[in-house]
């Protein structure tokens, strides 16, 4: 199963909260309280987001954290990279031919690369601003969702 880790999920929720109040500074404690998350976990995530240049850290009495750029300019792909590292669905994507003993005989690694690129582009196409707002029932990605769900269950 391909799964985004818990910290990335929390980071997206934290950034989504911040996106709703652009230009403000937030304390780790306030963000933890608002999201119902452990303060130590939130502090760790915020530091990773600062290292990933998605947040800015401000010291002093009016310190805290703020978005490093507008929420519509921060993609989910950037969040994943900041928290988890490079996006790679298989070892051969991340490590190249050296990652697999069978790479000299492998005919499918280029296809995994193509799939990885599509996955990356999908994550790159969704911003924190997008994630902070619920989709309307008319959103193109939701058209026919009830039909797709029924056919998947059948």
How far apart CA 133 and CA 124 sit, in angstroms, is 17
What pLDDT digit, counting tens, does each position of 29-87 carry?
999 999 999 999 999 999 999 999 999 999 988 889 999 999 999 999 999 999 999 88
What domains are defined for the chain? 6-142 (1.10.10.10)
Higher pLDDT, 148 or 142: 142
Please check the confidence at residue 152 and state whether its pLDDT lies above 70: no
The phi, psi pair for 144, rounded to 5°, reads 75, 15
């Amino acid at each position: 199963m391909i799964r985004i880790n818990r910290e990335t999920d929390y980071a997206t929720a934290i950034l989504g909260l911040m996106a709703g109040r652009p230009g403000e500074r937030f304390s780790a404690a306030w963000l933890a309280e608002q999201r119902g998350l452990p303060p130590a976990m939130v502090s760790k995530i915020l530091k990773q987001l600062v290292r990933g240049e998605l947040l800015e850290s401000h010291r002093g009495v009016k310190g805290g954290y703020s978005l490093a750029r507008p929420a519509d300019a921060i993609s989910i792909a950037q969040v994943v990279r900041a928290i988890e590292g490079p996006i790679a669905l298989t070892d051969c994507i991340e490590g190249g031919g050296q990652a697999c003993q069978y790479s000299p005989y492998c005919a499918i690694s280029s296809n995994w690369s193509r799939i990885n690129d599509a996955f990356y582009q999908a994550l790159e196409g969704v911003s924190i601003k997008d994630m902070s707002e619920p989709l309307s029932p008319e959103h193109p990605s939701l058209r026919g969702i009830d039909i797709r769900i029924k056919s998947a269950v059948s």
